[in-house]
Amino acid sequence: MPGAVATESMHAAVLRTLPANNDEVSYAASAPLQLEELDRPEPRAGELGVAISLSSLCHSDLSVVNGSRIRPLPMALGHEAVGRVVSVGDGVSDVAVGDKIVLVFVPSCGKCRACLAGRPALCHEGAVSNASGDLLHGPALLRSPSGERINHHLGISAFADYGVVARESAVVVDPEVPDEVAAMFGCALLTGMGAVFNTAQVSQGQSVIVFGLGAVGLSAIMAAKIAGAAHIIAIDPNAGKHSLAMQSGATAVGTPAEAASLVKAATGDGVDVAVEAVGSAGVIAACMPLLTRGGAVVSVGLPHPDAQLTITALDLAGAGKRLLGSYMGDAVPERDIPAYIQLWRDGKLPVELLHTDTVPLAQINEALDALAAGTVIRRLFRP
């Protein structure tokens, strides 16, 4: 049963139906996300009440709106944010009211096979609650004034002024870290950097190519530079992103048509690691011929669930090539977020490059258009 509902209200961006003709739709015109007044729930045992300071628009949010990621509707969207704890449920002793927290979109139960193996990003219980629109510790709490259930997005529903999350969805961070910086650590940086550090384990002197120069791809480039990669090739059909890739640490940039020639010029025979941050089965397949013997493709993007992958099977055993999936960068958030923030403090991680601008949450639909067009990297929202 839901927890006790306070008399106050909250506001959240709710998706009720998918726009028709998604390939051609203007989200600003169709306005699939509407700011709605909802009853404000109190946290149950193991949960936190959070005042959202800033949230961030990610391609995974757009994928829900355009139907590529199937989620139960109606749903309050948003999964990357920073906030402050305003209430603490029973049984939570390590987080206090007033703490600044980064929200993480996979809550880890700590007891399933994945968690016990040290891979909390693949938590079985977290995956179940995320898919159903519930929270880790119980059913969805969000309700319209009429009592209609509103599903949670990835345990967070950050496009709001308030939320209830599982304690396991929060990482406490130093209050001195600016909100505009902290807001991007829960998804983009965690995923892109984790793909390089945790999944691929890129080492000094290796060569890396990154396809897709959104926030995740640019984060992977930053991580490859920190890891000491000798060659970092950045690929995106949008040439407007190439300069940003160079500022992030790339040693060469180009379009997909130029990828093979750039790899040949840099390495002669192929890269050690190819990071696919597009969400395209075709791009995953195109990465395999660009690998040197023993190289690895790291799939980070989320293709449509109907997409199928065709690769040359002999590349695997015959050339020792590997195809690795990386969900949330194989991250351990309690370990990785503080470590990545320290890299930012040390001047090694130029997080600010990802921040396009900050706008009111009321502009969420216009922001969907900008993200789909590739004209923004990370647009942040004030509730």
Q: Backbone phi, then psi, for 299, in 5-degree steps?
A: -90, 115
Residue at 224: amino acid letter: A
Q: What's the rounded Cα separation, in Å, for the pair 116 and 76?
A: 31
**Are residues 277 and 132 located together in one domain of the fold?**
no
Tokens of 301: 């993007």
**Are residues 98 and 135 located together in one domain of the fold?**
yes
Does residue 339 belong to any structural domain of this protein? Answer: no
Does residue 110 belong to any structural domain of this protein? Answer: yes
Number of domains comprising the chain: 2
Tokens of 20: 């028709």
**Are residues 240 and 134 located together in one domain of the fold?**
no
Does residue 345 belong to any structural domain of this protein? Answer: no
Per the CB < 8 A criterion, the answer to whether 174 and 101 are in contact is no
Per-residue pLDDT reduced to its tens digit, 286-345: 999 999 999 999 999 999 999 999 999 999 999 999 999 999 999 999 999 999 999 999
**Are residues 25 and 160 located together in one domain of the fold?**
yes
Nearest by Cα to 227 from 194, 202, 192, 195: 202
Q: What's the rounded Cα separation, in Å, for the pair 72 and 82?
A: 24
- Residue appearing with tokens 């519930």: 134
CATH of residue 355's domain is 3.90.180.10
pLDDT band for position 1 (50/70/90)? Answer: very low
**Are residues 34 and 143 located together in one domain of the fold?**
yes
Does residue 202 belong to any structural domain of this protein? Answer: yes
CATH of residue 227's domain is 3.40.50.720
**Are residues 271 and 358 located together in one domain of the fold?**
no
| The pLDDT of residue 210 is above 60 | yes
- Report residue 234 CA to chain centroid gap: 19
**Are residues 51 and 130 located together in one domain of the fold?**
yes
| The pLDDT of residue 75 is above 70 | yes
Question: How many helices, marked H, and strands, marked E, lie in the chain?
Answer: 13, 17
**Are residues 42 and 172 located together in one domain of the fold?**
yes
Annotate 64-76 with DSSP letters as a single string.
Answer: HHTTSS---SSEE
Q: What's the rounded Cα separation, in Å, for the pair 114 and 118?
A: 6
Per-residue pLDDT reduced to its tens digit, 135-172: 999 999 999 999 999 999 999 999 999 999 999 999 99
**Are residues 48 and 130 located together in one domain of the fold?**
yes
pLDDT value at position 2?
A: 44
Give the range of the structural domain holding residue 216, as residue numbers without chain letter. Answer: 189-327
Tokens of 146: 């009429």
**Are residues 77 and 175 located together in one domain of the fold?**
yes
pLDDT band for position 19 (50/70/90)? Answer: confident
pLDDT value at position 20?
A: 78
- Which pairing describes strands 47-56 and 378-382: parallel, antiparallel, or unpaired? antiparallel
Does residue 247 belong to any structural domain of this protein? Answer: yes
Q: Within 10 A of 11 (CB to CB), how many other CB atoms are there?
A: 18
Q: Among residues of the chain, what percentage have pLDDT more than 90?
A: 95
Per the CB < 8 A criterion, the answer to whether 141 and 2 are in contact is yes
What is the arithmetic mean of pLDDT over 264-273?
98
Does residue 367 belong to any structural domain of this protein? Answer: yes
pLDDT value at position 187?
A: 97
pLDDT band for position 382 (50/70/90)? Answer: very high
Does residue 243 belong to any structural domain of this protein? Answer: yes
Q: What's the rounded Cα separation, in Å, for the pair 263 and 247?
A: 20
Cis omega (within 30 of 0) on the bond before 338? no
**Are residues 211 and 141 located together in one domain of the fold?**
no
SS3 115: helix
**Are residues 133 and 157 located together in one domain of the fold?**
yes
Does residue 340 belong to any structural domain of this protein? Answer: no
pLDDT value at position 182?
A: 98
Strand order in the sheet with 33-41: 33-41, 5-15, 75-76, 151-152
pLDDT value at position 22?
A: 65
Quickly list H helices, the chain: 27-30, 59-65, 113-116, 124-132, 179-182, 188-194, 215-227, 242-248, 259-267, 281-287, 314-319, 333-345, 364-373
Domain boundary among 312, 327, 342: 327
pLDDT value at position 109?
A: 97
